[in-house]
Structure 1
Amino acid sequence: MRLPSWLAAPPSGVGDVSEVRDPAARRLIVLEIAVMLTVTIGLSALRSALSLVDSLLSPVPLAEQQVALNAPAAQAGLVDLALQLVRVLQLAGWGALGAYLLLRAGFPLVKVGLDGSRRLRDLRDSVGLAALIGLPGLGLYLIARAIGVSLEVAPTTLDDVWWRTPVLVLSACANAWAEELVMIGYLLTRLRQLGWSADRAVAASAVLRGCYHLYQGLGGFVGNIVMGLVFGRVWQRTGRLWPLVGAHALIDVVAFVGYALLPAGLRP
């Protein structure tokens, strides 16, 4: 059985990165990856796994528990707004750190597909990828909820205040920027420098992405592994990162803002 062409291993010359063979340089790359993941998504994955363990140990069945993706962080409205913006800034910083480390390693951002040479095509691909991932992802979540292996995921529980929609849009964009820069642009590039195959690198990145969402239950874990596999392979074959950032942002904006605008009685 042949895989679709966009899922097959990238052809030679697409996304190729020279393997680093100097032992000292390789050790530094491994250390850099460990530090990068410790302060960003890797540490969040550990917290997420522990959150799932706590949910499983609760006397309340998993299907009856709820997790909010964007929740109030303070009682005072302006303090809450400030804390929400701090979280957005943190995520933006994670992505910026990935971009900076790539630059320091000698990879111009055009090398990972962060240039403006294909704006319209990148926008078109963003919409297509969002549809490809978003609709099946919603179906997988509903199945996971039906069989009781996923928590109820509330995209937002923020109060209906004037800043809610702008903050949700910023949060969606920051999530997309951070995850795709760190998990795809940065991590796949550095793993290839260590001699990892394209398949092994994208699989490792996808599993880590799934672990980062374990707090949502099995549905979030499996769904994000699939998303990571598709996004990783698309990047390996096209060398374009903006479509992944755009698609991720679109999915989150629709989920966050759409849920917030639904009347309370129509929310799941």
Structure 2
Amino acid sequence: MSRHRLPYAAGLGPSERDPLPVAGPPERRVLRRETVLLLGVSLGASAIWAVLSIIDKLTRQTPLRQQTTAMNQSVTPDRPWLDLAYQLTGAALQVVPVVLALFLLAHVHRPSPAVGPARFIGFDRTEPFRDLARGAGLAALIGVPGLGFYVLATAVGINTNVSAANLTDVWWSAPVLTLAAIANALIEEVVMVGYLFTRWRQISWSWPVVIGTSALIRGTYHLYQGFGGFLGNVVMGLVLGYVYARTRRVMPLVICHALLDIVAFVGYSVLKARGISL
């Protein structure tokens, strides 16, 4: 293992106090493969499917703006008890890559000998009120302009109409949509930011490259919504990546993302039940 240590957030934040061990050339190859494999069983695979999805949409005769992308759909609408099992299983399995990422950070080229991986990436409860305030503030900062951008992107024809919640009318729809939102937030922020930022810094990528690459991947796995979803999520990735580089806390990002998705999923479900469409 290389003894060279790199300030984790050089020039970007207060994390100089906890330098990051930089991997040597042989270890860098291992870490690159590790990140590719983890992406391959999580968000990287989603990006590939999203690319195929947008190709499918673009090669249809129906214009993109007239197509609908349905999310959070019922699997067995005629059997609510089985549908609930499907929804809960899907949310639980989505968290597995999060646990795997933390496991790898704990056992393969550990980023800090002093603290555990969750503490190192700021995925802990040491600053609950500050994390909540930051997360809520980020959600407001991103959510309102994001909704306006979605409406504009759909109007100009570069995005599909996104149907965010399509569960049957059952009592457990709101709790399940909330769980789905939290699962999305966990995998996207812990894996896409906390884990990848740590690994890419360990192999000596610069902060602009780290933040930009993460944002591009984030945008790519939202391409199934259209190019508006891609661009909006690239911008979101840049903002959240910069915030993480400044604070080295992923918890506010998880809170922000969860709030955005809860409002989108549950809010859409409520509006749909009342016959209101966006």
Q: TM-score, normalised by structure 1?
A: 0.93
**Structure having greater relative contact order (Cα 8 Å, sep ≥ 6):** 1
Q: Alignment identity in percent? A: 44
- Structure-2 change in CA distance of 1:101 and 1:162 (3 Å): same
Return the offset for 1:264.
4.3
Contact 1:63 1:149 in 2 (8 A): yes
1:266 maps to which residue? 276
Question: Hey, what does 1:25 align to over in structure 2?
Answer: 27
Which AA in structure 2 matches 1:197? S
Written as runs of structure 1 = structure 2, the 5 A alignment for 1:156-167 is: 156-167=165-176
Q: For residues 16 and 251 of structure 1, do their structure 2 counterparts lie closer, same or farther at Cα, with a shift above 3 Å needed? A: farther
Change (3 A) 1:192 1:15: farther
Q: Give the CA deviation at 1:18.
A: 2.8
* Residues 1:14 and 1:129: Cα distance change in structure 2 (over 3 Å): farther
Matched position secondary structure for 2:22: coil
Match of residue 81 from structure 2: 78
Matches within 5 A, 1:91-106: 91-105=94-108, 106=110
What value does the CA root-mean-square deviation take over the aligned residues? 1.6
Farther-moved stretch of structure 1 (82-91 vs 145-154): 82-91
Find the residue that maps to 2:162 and give its secondary structure: strand
Aligned-pair CA distance for 1:17:
2.6
Q: Which moved more, 1:255-264 or 1:243-252?
A: 255-264
Deviation of 1:24 after TM superposition, in Å, equals: 2.2
Instruction: Note the 1:1-268 alignment, pairs <5 A.
Output: 10-11=12-13, 13=16, 16-21=19-24, 23-75=25-77, 76-105=79-108, 106-107=110-111, 108=116, 109-262=118-271, 263-268=273-278
Is 1:14–1:236's contact at 8 Å kept on the other side of the alignment? no
Query: Distance in 2 between the 1:124 and 1:85 partners?
Result: 29
The number of residue pairs the alignment matches comes to 260
Question: C-alpha deviations, 1:78-107, integer Å up to 9, x for none?
Answer: 221111111101111121111221112324
Deviations along 1:171-221, one digit per CA (max 9) or x if unpaired, are 000000010011000011101111100110010000000001000001100
The answer for the alignment partner of 1:4 in structure 2 is: none
| Ranges in structure 1 where 5+ consecutive residues have no aligned partner | 1-7
Asked if 2 retains the 8 angstrom alpha-carbon contact of 1:9 and 1:199, the reply is no
C-alpha contact 1:202 1:233 (8 A) present in aligned 2: yes
Structure 2 portions without partners, runs of 5+:
1-9
Residues 9 and 198 in structure 1, CA contact (< 8 A), matched pair in contact too: no
- Secondary structure in structure 2 of the residue aligned to 1:130: helix
The whole-number CA distance in structure 2 between the counterparts of 1:44 and 1:136 is: 25
Aligned partners of 1:194, 1:46: CA distance in 2, in Å?
Answer: 25
Amino acid at match of 2:277: R
TM-score, length basis structure 2: 0.90
